[in-house]
Chains A and B, each alone.
Chain A
């Protein structure tokens, strides 16, 4: 099945810094999503982005489907950005998302 790798596994930054999270996948995808899991466990949808670029406030994402990777950018980090960021992809005909292992982001004040 399709493989998903996220990097880095852990990232510690000071408030105000910028960060880039990467998601590599092993096959063509029809769906790619980015989620943020907050400290209470809730999974929050950030982007539905099987291809192209999207922006939402301080967050933006780019998926280059032909090169099989996606990037999540966080600018001017805040402590509330802390948590685990997951990338999930769906291969053609799969009917289900495959999740990466996540990037744990810690933003210190």
Chain B
């Protein structure tokens, strides 16, 4: 069966520091991968998605970037964190468009 992992689970970082969040999926190949942020405790904002290695689509202009160095690995990065980057970051996967999507456990990021 498929499993999705995210780490770290929680992170406290100072303003201006770099960021790297990692997401990996097991038990499938060539999944569609997604990064979301939940800032207000309710809505989910899609940040990036990838339908294959090296293919990244950005939904919202910001100081974050995403990369997919391996088939089942999706990384969210920042060179310099802002206070507004605080939030709950969720990675998700699915086998293909129109299929059921599944979420990882999330990373709670606090920028101080």
Main secondary structure of the interface of A (DSSP, over half): strand
Q: How many residues of B contact A (CB 8 A)?
A: 23
Give the Cβ gap from A77 to chain B, nearest Cβ, in Å: 20
- A95 touching B42, Cβ below 8 Å: no
Q: In the complex, which residue of chain B has the Cβ closest to the Cβ of A48?
A: B100
Contact of B97 among A42, A50, A86, A95 (CB under 8 A): A95
Kindly count the residue-residue contacts between A and B in the assembled complex, taking CB atoms under 8 Å apart. 49
CB contacts under 8 Å to B, within A67-104, are 84, 86, 88, 90, 94-97, 99, 101-102, 104
Q: Does A30 contact B (CB under 8 A)?
A: yes
B99 at the interface (CB under 8 A from A): yes
> Digit string of B46-76 for contact with A (CB within 8 Å is 1, else 0)?
1001010000010100000000000000000
Closest CB in chain B relative to A97 CB, distance in Å: 6
Band of interface residues on A: 20 to 34
Taking A31-B98, A96-B59, A101-B43 as known contacts, 18 extra A-B pairs with beta carbons closer than 8 A to each other, sorted by chain A number, are: A30-B98, A31-B101, A35-B103, A41-B108, A42-B106, A43-B106, A45-B102, A48-B100, A50-B98, A86-B44, A88-B101, A94-B97, A95-B49, A95-B51, A95-B57, A96-B34, A96-B46, A101-B42
Q: Which residues of A contact B (CB under 8 A)?
A: 30-31, 33, 35, 41-43, 45, 48, 50, 84, 86, 88, 90, 94-97, 99, 101-102, 104
